[in-house]
Every structure is written in structure tokens, then in C-alpha cells.
Amino acid sequence: MTKAGIAATALVVVAAAGIAGAWYTGTRLEGVLLDSIEQANQRMQSQFPNTDLAVELAGFERGWFSSQARYRLLLQAPEGGEPGLEVFVNDHIEHGPLPLSRLTSFRWWPVMAVSHAQLEQGEALAELFAASAGRPPVTLTSSVSYTNRITGELQVAPLNWPGEQSATFSGLSAVYATDTAGDGLKLSGRVDSVELKGQANISLVGMDFVLDRQRDASGLYLGSGRLELDQLAAVVDGRPALSLSEMVQSDVTRLDADGARMEMTYRIGSVNYGANRLGSMDMGWTLSRLDPQSVLDLAAIYNSALLGDIEQQPQVLSEQLEAALGQLLEGQPRVSLDNFSIRTTNGESRFSLGLDLDRPLSLELPTEVLVPQLIDRLEAKLVLSKPMLMDMVRHKALFQPQADQAAVEQEAAVLVEMVAGMAEMLQLGQIEGDNILSQLSYAGGSAKLNGQPIALEDLVGLLAGMQGM
């Protein structure tokens, strides 16, 4: 046989295998869709209990090389409330093992199907389709492997809401990887800009996000997430823009021997008013010794309150909340503000707080009885920079250009010395160089302020006196 004959024979075999595979995929696909929908509904019921939220396969037409599916997402309204929400999604599904769209993009690894899903225009989404100029506002292209892995791309179209109060959205582009059981999710994407115009103009520029989550045997999604924003700016009444730049939010969730642990950090690299730099901020939180089931229950209660009708079942939600909080406190969770720091040109102030909680006899106890039972241990430390306080008072001249600069400088010096003097007089703080230091600890019903024992009643009185100033 000639080389041409061998090549032709090979092509015929490949084509025949592709047709047979496509036919097999078509017969299997509807069952896979129904299984995935059933699993999705089960997850929604666990995450959004007490709500009538469901997805169903509204239609399915099977062909040799492709099929057409239609999904219906329904959120039933509470009795006597507003009408429910009904949204349809159209899905053109190319059969594997070698869908045409993958062949034309030189991706030849066999897959079970390639899905091209998009929102269907309808009454509920009329305003959204108008904002997208008639284009599908959301499209999802997914490749489903024979091992039930899913990879794909998410596109949100540019949106525009004209009018006296207008809004524009540049669109969103993201890639993701998951599976038909929803046990894991990797997602990364970007939004170039969002702009709101009205009495105040607000703009967001350059948002990038990354998410990597995997569901643990406990049911919690563990992993990390990160959100970066180049700039968020607001302009009011033609004044200089107040802008936040180099914003970063990150989180990590893991499961330790004593429970779940969540670490969250927030950073604002620069706060500016017009061309003037005001300062920067960092903050870090840690939540540890969290009972996984309690976290899931509290998240479900929150979701129910968000989508459900609280007024129809306040007693049920209240009982569920009390039970979940009680179980969470049984594990003696710890809440820690690891660092909260504010920096200006001439100084930096820092605050940290650690709080160990315990389960009280009842959450309905009077406050003066509840708090000592609820708080097992507390440590707090404040470093207040006098130069930073002076910088913040000096900023008054930026917001009030008519203010006399010399008077503002004098006001800053007087105010800082007054704060330092009051801290020493009330024994709330100690002066060390350019800083005002304050430390508070509490354990076993006893408190210490700056190393000196203090009765709880006296401490409460001091704090109440400061609040009244």
C-alpha cells in the first residue's frame, strides 16, 4: 500500500472512531447532565437551606455530533412576596471524543464534550441584555473529560447603564478548572474597569483575582484566594480624587488538629488625596480552632437569610443560629487581629488583639454575666505614634484649603500632647519616646492594664468615660 493509501486509511479509521465516539457520547451525555444537576441541587440545599432554589433540565435534544440542552434556574418567592426569579440557560454541547472546536484550535486530547452555555434573554434579564446591547451577558465554554474533570472560560460582556446615574463595566474574563462533583475549583480572571457616575464619580481600575479551593472530607472548602486592585477612586463635587491604590486581599483556609483555621490579610499600598499621599494600611486576621460543621451551619444560615424570607421563620432561624454558635463556642475558638497598622509620612501606629472564647451557660444571659463567661482570655496592645497623629491633623489643610497652615500645625501639636497627657493621667497608656503605649490583658476573671491589676468595674468605667468624651 502506498503512503497516500496508508494516510487515507488512517483518516477513515480516525473518522469512523470519531463518529462512533460521538454517538456513544451522545447516548451517555443526558445521564451525566441529570446526575450533575442532581448533585448541584443537593449542594444548593445544603448551602441555602430553607430556600426554594433549584436547577432543572428543561429540555434536551440529542444529535450525532452535538446536542442542545436548556436549563431552568428557579428561586421561588416566599408566600405573599414578590414574584419568583426564573432564568434559562441555553447550552450547545459538542460530543467527544474530538469536538470540532477543539480540532480547529489544535487541541487534540479526547474529551467527552465541549459545552457552550449562555444566558437566555427573558423578562427577568431584560435590563441586563439591554446593558449588554443584546449580546449574551454571560457565556461559559467548558470541556468535560472522561474522568469528569472540567476546564473552561467564563466571559461577562461589557455592560453599560446610561442615564443621569450611569454605570459602565468593562467585562470580565476568567479561566477555571473544576469537576462534575464540585469538589474543587481553580479560578483566575481580570476586570479592567468599573465606573459609576452621578453625584459622586467612583472608578475601579485593574482587578485581578485567583481562587484555589478543594473540598475536604469535613465539607469545608480549603485553600487560598487573592484579590488585587490597582486603584479605587472617588470624586465628589469636583474636589480632588480620594484614591486607594495597590489594594490586596488574600486568605488561606486549612484544617488543623484542633479545627479549621482561616488567615486573612488586607493591604492598601497608598491612600492619596489628589496628588498628596496620606498614608497606607495593613491588617491581618486569624480565626482558629473553628469547628468545621459549625462553620458550615453558620454559612448555611447566612445564605438562607440572604435568599429566604426571614420574617416567615424568625424563630427557626434564631434557634438554628443559637445552636450553631453554641457548637462553635464549644471548641473554644480564637479570634486574633494579628496586626492593624496605619502609616503616614512621619510615623506608624499599630494595634493587635487576641481573643479566646468559651461557651457560656446561655447566650441569653445579661451582658455583665455573659461577657466574663464568653471571653476566656484577651490580650491587646496599642502603639500610637505621636508623629502619625500630627500628620493626620495636618491633613485637615488638604480637605479645608482655607485653613491657616500655621494654625493647623499648632492645633496638631496641642491635640497630640493632650491625648498623651490624658493617657498618662487616666493610666490608660505610657509615653515611650514618640509613642503612646497601652497593653491590656484578661484571664480567669482578672485584668491588667499596662502590667498593673485593675478591677473589671474600674476598667469598664474608664472605657465608658473615654466614650463619653
**Per-residue pLDDT at 425:** 86
* pLDDT class of 386 with cuts at 50, 70, 90: very high
Q: Per the domain annotation, does 418 fall within a domain? A: no
What is the residue whose three cell numbers read 437551606?
49
What's the rounded mean pLDDT across residues 88-107?
A: 74
For the chain, percent of residues with pLDDT exceeding 70? 85
User: In terms of Cα–Cα distance, which of 35, 19, 150, 28 is closest to 97?
Assistant: 19
Tally of domains within the chain:
1
* pLDDT class of 1 with cuts at 50, 70, 90: very low
The boundaries of the domain holding residue 79 are 1-182
CB atoms within 10 A of CB 165: 10
- Summarised one tens digit per residue, pLDDT across range 189-198 is 999 999 999 8
- Summarised one tens digit per residue, pLDDT across range 58-85 is 888 888 788 898 988 887 655 545 566 7
Q: Are 270 and 241 in contact (CB under 8 A)?
A: no
**Per-residue pLDDT at 281:** 98
| Highest mean pLDDT: which range of 12-26, 51-65, 147-161, 245-259 | 245-259
**Is the pLDDT confidence value at 368 over 60?**
yes
pTM of the model: 0.84
Q: Are 219 and 292 in contact (CB under 8 A)?
A: yes
Q: Are 143 and 102 in contact (CB under 8 A)?
A: yes
Q: Per the domain annotation, does 310 fall within a domain? A: no
Amino acid identity, residue 327?
Answer: Q
Q: Per the domain annotation, does 356 fall within a domain? A: no
- Summarised one tens digit per residue, pLDDT across range 332-342 is 999 999 999 99
User: In terms of Cα–Cα distance, which of 428, 437, 424, 420 is closest to 466?
Assistant: 428
Q: Per the domain annotation, does 93 fall within a domain? A: yes
Q: Are 86 and 68 in contact (CB under 8 A)?
A: no
**Is the pLDDT confidence value at 151 over 80?**
yes
Q: Are 21 and 97 in contact (CB under 8 A)?
A: yes
The three-state secondary structure class of 276 is strand
Q: What is the 3-state secondary structure (H, E, C) of 188-212?
A: EEEEEEEEEECCEEEEEEEEEEEEE
Q: Per the domain annotation, does 409 fall within a domain? A: no
**Per-residue pLDDT at 237:** 84
What is the residue whose three cell numbers read 442615564?
163
Q: Per the domain annotation, does 32 fall within a domain? A: yes
How far is it, in rounded angstroms, from Cα 274 to Cα 239? 8
Q: Per the domain annotation, does 151 fall within a domain? A: yes
What is the residue whose three cell numbers read 488543623?
256
What is the residue whose three cell numbers read 487515507?
8
Q: Per the domain annotation, does 210 fall within a domain? A: no
